[in-house]
């Protein structure tokens, strides 16, 4: 899709406490209240008269009056090249709106007194189809949802536009590149570990991930290296650690795991696999090798440990 390039960016609250959010998103509308201010006065851009109505009807004074007039002026004067954003149901929603303002009237319980129809629809996905989830947005943008009135400028408009266009922040792109290099280096260091150090690494990864090592597993689970339990969820898992392995060996352990029935998860960890290793579609089976294994080690804070072992 063509990237958006709005002239202006505004946040709009879809009713007090989001009371009109669901209706307006479904109907494709941009709402505004101030039901005691006549539509005709706003439509002819008589902002002095708008201020007088706001003062008489709502008792607004000073800064509050100035902000209310500005909100109504923005609503009536910003054109279809203005990007409107709001927050509802855990997402940032965005749209562009037609210029015409439709007066609905003040007595509709489920609808605002005036609306602008959106050009297409309210959307909560970026242009690549990725959800714009609030908890994945910078507070620079998300904090605008705390605005007490209705319409305001967005303090991070360029950031909002990049997120909608699906363009990665420049510093994030640099960070991802640096981390990819770090993971590649860690994978090389892991491949060079002595088998005893490799087992220690695996043990440390799980320990720092909150798993508790219960005991060595023997008996019917021949050659299984580590028996783990997650103290919060009470999940039980076994771990098989291999310096090298082929798919046939992995398949053998997957069959043992499925037949045993005593474990919730299985981890097969191998630093130098002979060919690609796959869990055969079983979501309970986790295969770690190469860069996924290196990524797990880095997430566990073990990169410096790897450096020390490689000196």
Q: What value does the mean pLDDT of the chain take?
A: 93
- Tally of domains in the chain: 2
Counting every residue written for the chain, the total comes to 311
Three-state secondary-structure class, residue 17: helix
Q: Which residues contact 58 (CB under 8 A, 6 or more apart)?
A: 36, 68
CB atoms within 10 A of CB 299: 12
Question: Looking at the structure, do residues 14 and 96 belong to the same domain, yes or no?
Answer: yes
Supply the DSSP symbol for 166: T
- Reduced to 3 states (helix: H, G, I; strand: E, B; else coil), residue 150 is coil
Is residue 220 pLDDT above 50, yes or no? no
Q: Please give the Cα distance from 145 to 152 (Å, whole number).
A: 10
Burial per residue of 109-138, b for 16 or more beta-carbon CB atoms within 10 angstroms, e otherwise: eebbbbbbebeeebbbebeeeeebeeeebe
Domain assignment present for residue 105? The answer is yes
- For residue 221, pLDDT beyond 60: no
Among the listed ranges 75-84, 224-233, 236-245, 297-306, which one has the minimum average pLDDT value?
224-233
**Two tokens, residue 213:** 């090592």
Q: Which residue has the higher pLDDT, 301 or 272?
A: 301
Residues 145 and 248 in one domain: no
Return the pLDDT at 218: 42
Choose one of 120, 146, 165: the last residue of a domain.
165
Give the domain extent around 187.
170-310
- The pLDDT value recorded for residue 169 is 83
Whether the per-residue pLDDT at 243 is higher than 60: the answer is: yes
Residues 157 and 12 in one domain: yes
Q: Mean pLDDT, to the nearest integer, of 6-21?
A: 94
pLDDT at 84 over 80: yes
For the stretch 59-78, pLDDT in tens is: 999 999 999 999 999 999 99
Kindly state the helix (H) or strand (E) to which residue 72 belongs, with its residue range.
helix 62-77
Domain annotation covers residue 12:
yes
Same-domain status, 146 and 100: yes
Report the alpha-carbon distance of residue 203 to residue 201 in Å, rounded.
5
Sign of the torsion angle spanned by Cα atoms 182, 183, 186, 192: negative
Q: Do 53 and 142 belong together in one domain?
A: yes
**1 in a domain, yes or no?**
no
216 falls in which pLDDT band (50, 70, 90)?
low
Select from 161, 197, 176, 168 the least CA-distant residue to 271.
197
3-class state of residue 61 by DSSP:
coil
Q: Phi and psi of 222, rounded to 5°?
A: -60, 135
- Over residues 251-273, the mean pLDDT reads 92
Q: What is the pTM of this model?
A: 0.72
Q: Are 137 and 46 in contact (CB under 8 A)?
A: no
Query: What is the reported pLDDT for 223?
Result: 57
Q: Does 79 reside within a domain?
A: yes
- Cβ–Cβ under 8 Å, residues 263 and 282: no
Q: Do 161 and 244 fall into the same domain?
A: no
- Residue range 142-157, pLDDT digits in tens: 999 999 999 999 999 9
Q: What is the structure's pLDDT at 250?
A: 94
Looking at the structure, tell me whether residues 264 and 249 fall in a common domain: yes
Q: Which residue has the tokens 């770690």?
A: 288
Q: What percent of the chain has pLDDT over 70?
A: 96
Question: Which residues lie closer than 8 Å to 244 by C-beta, 6 or more apart?
Answer: 270, 272, 273, 274
């Amino acid at each position: 899709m063509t990237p958006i390039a709005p002239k202006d960016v505004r946040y709009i609250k879809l009713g007090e406490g989001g009371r009109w959010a669901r209706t307006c998103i479904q109907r494709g509308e941009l709402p505004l209240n101030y039901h005691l201010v006549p539509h005709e006065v706003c439509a002819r851009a008589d902002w002095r008269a708008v201020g007088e109505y706001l003062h008489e009807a709502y008792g607004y004074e000073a800064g509050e009056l100035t902000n209310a007039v500005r909100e109504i002026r923005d609503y009536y004067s910003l054109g279809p090249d203005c990007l409107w954003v709001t927050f509802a149901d855990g997402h940032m929603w965005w749209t562009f709106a037609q210029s015409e303002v439709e007066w609905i009237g003040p007595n509709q319980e489920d609808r605002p007194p005036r609306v602008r129809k959106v050009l297409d629809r309210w959307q909560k996905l970026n242009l690549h189809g990725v959800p714009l989830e609030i908890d994945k947005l910078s507070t620079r943008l998300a904090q605008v949802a705390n605005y007490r009135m209705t319409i305001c400028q967005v303090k991070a408009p360029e950031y909002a536009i990049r997120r909608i266009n699906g363009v990665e922040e420049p510093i994030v792109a640099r960070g991802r590149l640096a981390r990819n290099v770090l993971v590649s280096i860690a994978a090389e260091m892991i491949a060079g570990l002595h088998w005893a150090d490799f087992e220690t690494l695996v043990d440390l990864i799980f320990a720092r991930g909150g798993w508790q090592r219960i005991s060595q597993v023997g008996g019917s689970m021949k050659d299984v290296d580590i028996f783990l339990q997650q103290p919060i969820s009470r999940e039980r898992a076994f771990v098989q650690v291999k310096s090298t392995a082929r798919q046939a060996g992995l398949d053998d352990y997957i069959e043992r795991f499925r037949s045993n029935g005593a474990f919730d998860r299985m981890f097969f960890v191998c630093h130098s696999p002979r060919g690609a290793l796959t869990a055969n579609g079983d979501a309970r089976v986790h295969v770690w090798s190469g860069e996924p294994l290196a990524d797990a080690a880095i997430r566990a804070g073990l990169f410096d440990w790897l450096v020390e072992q490689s000196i």
